[in-house]
Amino acid sequence: MEDTTLVREGQDYLIVAAGQLVSEALEIAEQLAERNISADVVDMFTIKPLDEELLLERLVGKKGVITIENHSIIGGLGSAVAEVLADNGLAVPLKRIGVENRFGQVGTPEFLQEEFGLTTKTMLERLEDFLN
């Protein structure tokens, strides 16, 4: 699919991000590389239709997949990736990062990223258990 882009190549994990959080996903991959953990980063420009072919191609040999989105994790990118894993019988660990099951708020993008734990720093903290 033309709109989906592999923006960084790695061996250990696949990070699939959407929207404005692609830049944070790249920063996370950069910081993981400093710990000798490499990650693909995919900019999933559209969720419907989802680029299942690219996902399946990039999942080969990965220890896990991480989705990053700036809205509810319920019914979003993480759910779509989970469906691809299930539909293809893949037992690949998945960590969904986004807005947990809570009401939204109004504010600047910076405020909202901080409030919902979507800064590079807080997302790395949320990933610690998954990566170990």
At residue 112, the pLDDT reads 80
For 103, phi then psi, to 5°, come to -70, 150
Pick among 3.30.420.40, 3.40.50.920, 3.50.50.60, 3.30.70.270: CATH of 5-130: 3.40.50.920
Q: What is the pLDDT of residues 75-122, one digit of tens each?
A: 999 999 999 999 999 999 999 998 886 767 787 878 788 777 789 999
With bands split at pLDDT 50, 70 and 90, how would you rate the model's confidence at 18?
A: very high
Q: Alpha-carbon distance 121 to 35, whole Å?
A: 15
Looking up tokens 């699939």, which residue turns up?
A: 16
pTM: 0.92
